[in-house]
Amino acid sequence: MTNYEMKVAQGEQLAVAETQLQSVLTDLESELSSLEIEALRQVQSQWRAYRDGLRNFAMRRYDGGTNASLAGIAAALQETRRRTNELLQEISDRTIERRP
């Protein structure tokens, strides 16, 4: 697989991960009050900035080389999956708390 093909494949995986994250965020918001939704959106905005920083840091390792963008996509993909799992756990915890 060429570097280009790997970038395309990882880019597609990142798009899927982003869609999954958005779906989980929607599910979580349905469990929250309006104040909590506002807070979540602020935190999510800060998280995106953090993820972008991780992506840029990973790219610096290859400073302009052909693997730089691949490393950036991989870092963003890993962090997006981690965040999705974190929010899924939040939903699970809230579901458990509501049980009698």
Q: Give the pLDDT band of residue 66 (cuts 50, 70, 90).
A: confident
The confidence score (pLDDT) of residue 95 equals 86
pLDDT of residue 63: 85
Q: Is the pLDDT of residue 67 over 80?
A: yes
Where do the structural domains in the chain lie, given as residue ranges? 33-100
pTM equals: 0.91
Of the candidates 91, 72, 70, 69, the residue with the CA atom closest to the CA atom of residue 20: 91
